[in-house]
């Protein structure tokens, strides 16, 4: 009776809130549009009835004009692309740029209205001729043209085969609730506009087909044109997909009507229909009735937000059964479309709510229909793969795995972070998965029926109505019989890590005394499972563990106790989550050797092995084996060894390092690295060098992770030991064979595809010299698509006790001696031949070779280049070189640079320098220089930088 009274009171409270919130008139929008295929333009006449729902008098109204975000290189969209290392919009021609041209704007009295764009060019402010009081309406009439861009920048615009993808293509009113919510187009699918009743009369060639999220009410054909009327009731904006082919089909199910072009080549039409029926029934049971005539589920929408992970393998690799693949693809796209059409929260500030509901329902669907589905699908049964822990993981375990991929790198962001402040990986994957996993965590703790009921009630009460995250919280809290404030205060609003450990277990005949430690201090519930023969025999929830706490539980023949056994909780570290009850030795983790890399297996100490093949002139092609403990998730302590066999020297070479990385949360000083590295190789025939280098490094970053700014300070001691073949007199050592250099280096980097800036201050000290150096590099991509690069280097010896005829520690114009063995030279000691032509742009950074390229006092140089056509550039270097006892001398060179892949693969062709016209001199092919990088880690950084 008490619960019934509570539920009735809860429902009454919601009705009162809704009545207060929704007692207003509706906006209406009438659009007459015509497509000009030749010009790729849409001519629009728009009549908008705007109702002032606020308590304020308005003197102007803001409109979203996201179609104008493609207008030039200075829009917010163009700048966002630069942050993501995409320069397609910056390099676009004027003909390719989309834009809006407003022809006229008048009010109901046919009086002209003044209007102007914001600095981002995608928001329009229209000034009213008369103030608009609260609870009153005004009609505006706006005529304009929208020039469509090609769909190579974003999914929107036109394609080469007469397809048009129209979204956010007409003016929509921004939201005002006491303040204007003005959000620019950042390609994030989060337009925030008011709910309207909209009619669109669209004229286009009669041989094109149109599908829309709006309802098609009528269609007429005249001459070679057709006019289609589309109606949207209580919707936000109309989306159109126009194509010369009729590829969409209508599925009428008992729950709702679906229009879709999603299909699978190997999944027949009848089976697809059965799967669609299954999904629409699931959606109706989980949420409720869909209020519109049909739901549009398109391949276009799916491609904008695909199933990330194993699903994106090439199509000839089919990890999943066709039915599962199709249903997951359809379910995700349908959920995204349904939520977008019916649940109207602020999509930029409160997107975590819809992310939570969408991904929670996807987790539920798999649990209900595919409980045994593996993450790797059919690949899990293949010999060589089935031994991996990744092959044992269930499909739903991808949610904590991919969220933790961000958390372990210390780039995770709170779920309440605005959508446009998230780095791409968090915006597309990690935060969405954490949100859905959070509701699954809550369901496991409070009872699944409570959370399911909350999701359904939130949908039913706020369907087609403006709502907030506070509304969602109110419903979830009211439906829970437990205190769940921790979920919103700790899990949702912060990036605090969840990490518990079983520290001690004391056994009696009929009970267990279990001591748990909260390693991170995040006060959330934790589950404890009793396991016997891989079956769960007991389960408990423990709360309010602020530091360490002991609990007593009955003994039920458990063989081991495991925290978070079902992986529902996104725990930071699960390697210490279990205790065996069968004695000390059974608690020790066994060693497990695996090929390549795997997900973390908390029950084993994993060591991975990978064949490697290194090369330099003296060692030759050196095969070997790399042993390391790097899993898919970053871990604090890492070891990495790679012994290889050098056939030319008939001995072993290689490297090894230990590294401990300590993250400091979201502070400006966010990471400290402790490292011990060593390597050994040959720098000449039968001449070996060995380095041992302990170091400590600190990293800083701004609060806004999108800025791509990083600062680092590294202290290291480089210890070098060398031996040389006595028969190589010409390669005799200029200095003592063994030496030590203490090195301190501070580096600042701002990484942006339009403006790249990096500078460093480097100090080195040994028993024979002390020197400092400053280096600055700047790259600028100008408005006219010209790219300019400039680099400045200045180095000075504070003291230099090296012999006068030794340049081993001197600054070098074109090829540093690399006495710290930092650079990957293919032929370290070569003075001629192809190996000597390798250049690593460091110190002087010159490309031409000079007779005396060294400076044992000071050196200052400038290197610059400018592109003349795509990746062809002209370069020029100038500098001053000063040696002890001699006057400084001026040096210069110039030539052509083929910048095929900056810093990774470049070619330099000298033309003119202090040596004269080099291009006309003999053996010119030996003067050509090249930059090449073989490091897989360096190359993969090109592709991961836009995500992290």
pLDDT tier at 304, thresholds 50, 70, 90 = very high
Are 277 and 410 part of one and the same domain? no
What is the spatial distance between Cα 239 and Cα 165, in angstroms, rounded to a whole number? 8
Supply the pLDDT for residue 159.
95
Q: Which of 319, 343, 367 is the last residue of a domain?
A: 343
**Domain assignment of residue 92, yes or no:** yes
pLDDT tens digits, one per residue of 212-262: 999 999 999 988 999 999 999 999 999 999 999 999 999 999 999 999 999
pLDDT tier at 15, thresholds 50, 70, 90 = very low
pLDDT tier at 325, thresholds 50, 70, 90 = very high
Supply the pLDDT for residue 17.
44
Q: Which two structure tokens, joined as six digits, stand for 253?
A: 């199910």
Supply the pLDDT for residue 16.
42
What is the spatial distance between Cα 420 and Cα 186, in angstroms, rounded to a whole number? 7
pLDDT tier at 423, thresholds 50, 70, 90 = very high
Q: Which of 449, 471, 495 is the last residue of a domain?
A: 495
Environment class of 662 (CB within 10 Å of its CB; exposed 0-12, middle 13-18, buried 19+): exposed
Q: Chain-wide mean pLDDT for the chain?
A: 92
pLDDT tens digits, one per residue of 698-726: 999 999 999 889 999 999 999 999 998 87
Dihedral angle sign, alpha carbons of residues 476, 477, 482, 483: positive
State the average pLDDT over residues 142-147: 98
**Domain assignment of residue 800, yes or no:** yes
pLDDT tier at 411, thresholds 50, 70, 90 = very high
**Domain assignment of residue 917, yes or no:** yes
pLDDT tens digits, one per residue of 612-628: 999 999 999 999 999 99
Are 738 and 876 part of one and the same domain? yes
Q: Is pLDDT above 70 for 311?
A: no
Q: Is pLDDT above 90 for 484?
A: yes
Supply the pLDDT for residue 572.
93
Q: Is pLDDT above 50 for 4?
A: no
Q: 22: how many CB neighbours lie within 10 A of its CB?
A: 12
**Domain assignment of residue 624, yes or no:** no
574: CATH: 2.60.40.10
What is the spatial distance between Cα 740 and Cα 723, in angstroms, rounded to a whole number? 15
Supply the pLDDT for residue 756.
92
**Domain assignment of residue 513, yes or no:** yes
431: CATH: 1.10.390.10
What is the spatial distance between Cα 258 and Cα 295, in angstroms, rounded to a whole number? 5
Q: Is pLDDT above 70 for 861?
A: yes
| H or E element that contains 360 | helix 351-369
192: CATH: 2.60.40.1730
**What's the structural domain count of the chain?**
5
Count of alpha carbons within 13 angstroms of residue 58, beta-carbon side: 26
Supply the pLDDT for residue 271.
94
Q: What is the DSSP string of 283-317?
A: HHHHT----SS-EEE-HHHHHHS---SGGGS-TTS
pLDDT tier at 942, thresholds 50, 70, 90 = low
Q: Is pLDDT above 60 for 2?
A: no
Are 768 and 850 part of one and the same domain? yes
Detail the DSSP E strand segments found in 23-173: 27-36, 41-51, 58-64, 99-107, 115-117, 123-132, 137-147, 157-158, 164-166, 172-173
Supply the pLDDT for residue 586.
57
> Range with the lowest mean pLDDT among 59-68, 662-671, 789-798?
662-671
Are 450 and 469 part of one and the same domain? yes
Are 364 and 302 part of one and the same domain? no
Q: Where are the alpha helices (DSSP H) in 212-290?
A: 269-286
Scan for tokens 């519109």, then name that residue: 292
Are 261 and 225 part of one and the same domain? no
Q: What is the SS3 assignment for 143-195?
A: EEEEECCECCCCCCEECCCCCEEECCCCCEECEECCCEECCCCCCCCCCCCCC
Q: Which two structure tokens, joined as six digits, stand for 612?
A: 């490697």
**Domain assignment of residue 7, yes or no:** no
pLDDT tier at 13, thresholds 50, 70, 90 = very low
Are 337 and 350 part of one and the same domain? no
Q: Is pLDDT above 70 for 31?
A: yes
Are 333 and 416 part of one and the same domain? no
pLDDT tens digits, one per residue of 746-763: 999 998 888 899 999 999
Are 436 and 583 part of one and the same domain? no
State the average pLDDT over residues 267-279: 95
Q: Which of 201, 218, 244 is the last residue of a domain?
A: 244
The whole domain housing 572 covers: 500-588
| Bridge partners of residue 695, in order along the sequence | 675, 716
930: CATH: 2.40.160
Answer with the residue of higher pLDDT: 587 or 898.
898
CA angle 317, 323, 328 (to 5 degrees): 85
Provide, rounded to the nearest whole percent, the portion of the chain with pLDDT above 90: 81
Answer with the residue of higher pLDDT: 832 or 170.
170
Q: Is pLDDT above 80 for 317?
A: no
pLDDT tier at 9, thresholds 50, 70, 90 = very low
Are 463 and 388 part of one and the same domain? yes
**Domain assignment of residue 926, yes or no:** yes
Of the candidates 234, 232, 332, which has an alpha carbon nearest to the alpha carbon of residue 25?
A: 234
Whether the Cβ atoms of residue 941 and residue 904 lie closer than 8 Å to each other: no
Q: Is pLDDT above 80 for 46?
A: yes
What is the spatial distance between Cα 135 and Cα 180, in angstroms, rounded to a whole number? 17
What is the spatial distance between Cα 131 and Cα 118, in angstroms, rounded to a whole number? 21
Are 90 and 65 part of one and the same domain? yes
| Bridge partners of residue 115, in order along the sequence | 126
pLDDT tier at 567, thresholds 50, 70, 90 = confident
Environment class of 381 (CB within 10 Å of its CB; exposed 0-12, middle 13-18, buried 19+): exposed
Of the candidates 821, 810, 805, 736, which has an alpha carbon nearest to the alpha carbon of residue 769?
A: 810
| H or E element that contains 514 | strand 511-518
Are 771 and 909 part of one and the same domain? yes
Query: Which residues have C-beta within 8 Å of that of residue 471, sequence separation ≥ 6?
Result: 17, 458, 461, 462
Q: Is pLDDT above 60 for 18?
A: no
Supply the pLDDT for residue 265.
81
| H or E element that contains 329 | helix 322-342
What is the spatial distance between Cα 860 and Cα 877, in angstroms, rounded to a whole number? 11
Supply the pLDDT for residue 26.
81
State the average pLDDT over residues 898-920: 92
**Domain assignment of residue 784, yes or no:** yes
Provide, rounded to the nearest whole percent, the portion of the chain with pLDDT above 70: 94
């Amino acid at each position: 009776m008490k619960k019934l009274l509570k539920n009735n009171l809860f429902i009454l409270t919601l009705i009162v809130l809704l009545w207060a919130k929704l007692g207003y008139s509706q906006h209406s929008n009438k659009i007459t549009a015509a497509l000009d295929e030749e010009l790729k333009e849409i001519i629009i006449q728009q009549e908008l009835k705007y109702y002032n729902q606020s308590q304020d008098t308005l003197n102007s109204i803001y409109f979203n004009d996201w179609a104008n975000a493609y207008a030039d290189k200075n829009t917010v969209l163009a700048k966002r692309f630069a942050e993501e290392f995409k320069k397609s919009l910056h390099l676009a021609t004027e003909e390719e740029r989309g834009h809006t041209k407003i022809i006229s704007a008048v009010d109901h009295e046919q009086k002209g209205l003044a209007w102007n764009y914001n600095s981002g060019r995608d928001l329009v402010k229209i000034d009213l001729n008369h103030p608009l009081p609260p609870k009153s309406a005004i009609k505006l009439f706006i005529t304009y043209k929208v020039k469509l861009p090609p769909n190579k920048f974003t999914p929107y615009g036109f394609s080469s085969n007469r397809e048009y993808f129209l979204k956010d293509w007409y003016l929509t009113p921004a939201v005002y609730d006491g303040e204007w919510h003005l959000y620019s187009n950042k390609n994030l699918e989060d337009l925030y506009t008011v709910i309207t009743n909209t009619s669109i009369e669209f004229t286009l060639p009669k041989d094109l087909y149109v599908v829309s999220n709006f309802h098609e009410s009528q269609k007429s054909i005249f001459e070679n044109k057709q006019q289609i009327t589309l109606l949207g009731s209580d919707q936000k904006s109309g989306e159109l997909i126009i194509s010369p082919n009729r590829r969409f089909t209508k599925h009428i199910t008992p729950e709702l009507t679906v229009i879709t072009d999603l299909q699978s080549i190997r999944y027949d039409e009848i089976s697809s229909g059965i799967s669609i029926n299954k999904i629409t029934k699931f959606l109706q049971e989980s949420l409720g009735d869909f209020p519109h005539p049909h739901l549009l589920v398109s391949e276009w929408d799916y491609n904008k937000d695909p199933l990330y992970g194993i699903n994106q393998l090439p199509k000839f690799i089919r990890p999943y059964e066709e039915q599962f693949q199709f249903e997951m693809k359809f379910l995700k796209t349908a959920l995204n479309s349904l939520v977008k059409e019916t649940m109207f929260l602020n999509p930029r500030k409160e997107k975590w709510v819809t992310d939570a509901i969408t991904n929670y329902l996807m987790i539920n669907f798999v649990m209900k229909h595919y409980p045994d589905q593996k993450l790797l699908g059919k690949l899990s049964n293949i010999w060589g793969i089935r031994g991996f822990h990744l092959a044992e993981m269930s499909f739903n375990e991808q949610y904590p795995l991919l969220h933790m991929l961000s958390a372990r790198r210390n780039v995770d962001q709170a779920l309440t972070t605005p959508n446009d402040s998230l780095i791409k990986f968090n915006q597309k994957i990690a935060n969405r998965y954490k949100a859905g996993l959070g509701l699954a965590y809550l369901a496991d703790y409070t009872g699944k029926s409570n959370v399911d009921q909350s999701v359904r009630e939130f949908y039913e009460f706020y369907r087609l109505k403006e709502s907030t995250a506070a509304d969602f919280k109110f419903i979830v809290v009211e439906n829970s019989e437990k205190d769940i404030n921790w979920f919103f205060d700790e899990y949702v609003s912060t990036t605090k890590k969840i990490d518990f450990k079983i520290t001690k277990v004391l056994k009696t005949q009929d009970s267990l005394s279990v001591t748990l430690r909260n390693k991170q201090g995040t006060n959330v519930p934790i589950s404890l499972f009793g396991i016997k023969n891989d079956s769960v025999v007991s389960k408990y929830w423990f709360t309010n563990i602020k530091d360490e706490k002991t609990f007593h539980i009955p003994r039920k023949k458990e063989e081991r106790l495991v925290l978070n056994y079902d992986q529902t909780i996104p725990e930071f570290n699960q390697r210490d989550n279990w205790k065996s009850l069968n004695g000390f030795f059974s608690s020790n983790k066994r060693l497990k050797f695996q090929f390549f890399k795997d997900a973390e297996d908390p029950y084993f100490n994993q060591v991975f092995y990978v064949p490697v093949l290194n090369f330099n002139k003296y060692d030759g092609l050196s095969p070997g084996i790399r042993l390391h403990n790097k899993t898919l998730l970053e871990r604090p302590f890492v070891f990495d060894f790679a012994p290889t066999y050098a056939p030319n020297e008939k001995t072993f070479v290689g490297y090894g390092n230990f590294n401990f990385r300590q993250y400091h949360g979201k502070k400006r000083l966010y990471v400290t690295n402790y490292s011990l590295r060593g390597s050994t190789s040959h720098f000449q025939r039968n001449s070996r060098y060995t380095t041992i280098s302990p170091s400590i490094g600190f990293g800083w970053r701004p609060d806004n992770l999108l800025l791509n700014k990083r600062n680092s300070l590294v202290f290291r001691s480089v210890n070098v030991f060398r031996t040389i073949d006595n028969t190589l007199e010409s390669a005799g050592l200029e200095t003592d064979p063994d030496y030590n250099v203490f090195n301190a280096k501070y580096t600042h980097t701002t990484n942006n595809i339009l403006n790249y800036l990096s500078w460093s201050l480097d100090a080195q000290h040994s028993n024979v010299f002390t020197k400092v150096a400053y280096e600055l590099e700047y790259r600028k991509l100008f408005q006219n698509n010209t790219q300019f690069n400039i680099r400045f280097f200045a180095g000075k010896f504070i003291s230099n006790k090296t012999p006068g005829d030794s340049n081993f520690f001197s600054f070098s114009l074109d090829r540093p001696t690399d006495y710290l063995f930092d650079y990957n030279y293919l032929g370290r000691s070569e003075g001629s031949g192809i190996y000597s032509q390798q250049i690593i742009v460091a110190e002087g950074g010159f490309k031409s070779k000079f007779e005396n390229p060294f400076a044992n006092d000071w050196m200052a140089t400038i290197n610059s280049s400018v592109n003349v056509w795509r990746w062809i550039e002209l370069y020029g270097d100038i500098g001053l070189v000063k040696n002890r006892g001699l006057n400084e001398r001026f040096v210069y060179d110039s030539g052509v640079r083929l910048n095929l892949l900056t810093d990774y693969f470049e070619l330099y062709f000298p033309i003119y320098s202090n040596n004269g016209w080099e291009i006309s001199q003999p053996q010119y092919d030996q003067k050509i220089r090249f930059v090449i990088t073989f490091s897989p880690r360096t190359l993969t950084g090109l592709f991961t930088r836009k995500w992290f």
